[in-house]
Amino acid sequence: MAATNLHSAILEWFAARGRDLAFRGTTDPYAILVSEAMAQQTQAARAAEYWTRFLVEFPTVQALADATPAAVLRAWRGLGYNRRAIALRAAAVAIVRDHDGRVPDDLEALRRLPGVGPYTARAVAALAFGRRVGAVDVNVRRVLSRAIGGGLDSLPPAELQAVADALVPGESPGVWTHALMDIGATFCGPRAPRCEPCPARVACRYALERAGKGGAPQAEAGVPPPGAGAGPRTRLRERPEAFETTSRWLRGRLLDLLRDGSGSAWVRLPADLGAHGDAAIARALDGLARDGLAERHPEDPELARLPIA
């Protein structure tokens, strides 16, 4: 009965109030694979903007597989976590080589694709092929941990996955997948869940127990209450290192310089960039090369380019 109530409450709310994201209008497995790669560690609304433009440039698996890594990295500009772009292209190459250009509908075959982990495989299986599998991202993890287990981190990963799979309804598993994600993003925040307006509260153990205690906030594992922990570690977090001094900032600026280059031409890099000198730039370039995001000139250390093969 609890599962039925949860299904009804969440699906009715989603039908009326779910987010209208561009990639939710397709059942094309390739387009869904692209959307899931983009949405990792990126807000869904932002990923949706890039998704439309990316598919114009690479409309099919074959088009993406035939593209150079440089072309894909240029199209990925602004999304961040650029290794996802390289992995997505590698997945397209594998799909063309091993699956006749068709995204596989088998969960294990999806898992074997480069860059495709348990969540992405299940999301593609549910959204594109209607498989009854639960895709557990950070939003879904919060919703199910609270609704079924009573709090964050209440269920071990294997048990949480089993619960997610068991809860998928027989009809429209893709709609259920999107709906759970929206509940997590809209109401079930990590620190301050908004239980009162959440439609899942009718069958949520956490919300019901919270209401039984007069709505008082409950301490959850791994989530300090507001104002707690005002010791030395908290004070350090209040003075974060300036982003411009980090290696992540430097890697991003270097990639942008390489993206600004024309075609396969080598780009001469500056001796310093922001607060970073030539030694830091050399280290960052070595890291980009190891990650498949850049090529260094074999003879001139000041020259680099995006990978072309």
Please give the positions annotated as active site. Answer: 36
Phi and psi at residue 223, to the nearest 5°? -125, 100
With the C-alpha atoms ordered 14, 161, 91, 81, is the resulting torsion angle positive or negative?
positive
Cβ–Cβ under 8 Å, residues 206 and 218: yes
Amino acid residing at 167? L
Cα 286 to Cα 292: distance, rounded to the nearest angstrom: 10
Amino acid residing at 217? P
User: Which of 248, 258, 256, 239 shows the shortest CA–CA distance to 280?
Assistant: 248
Using alpha carbons, list the distances in angstroms from residue 144 to 6, 163, 220. Answer: 10, 8, 14
Cα 189 to Cα 221: distance, rounded to the nearest angstrom: 14
Cβ–Cβ under 8 Å, residues 85 and 76: yes
User: Which of 221, 229, 135 shows the shortest CA–CA distance to 181?
Assistant: 135
DSSP 146: I
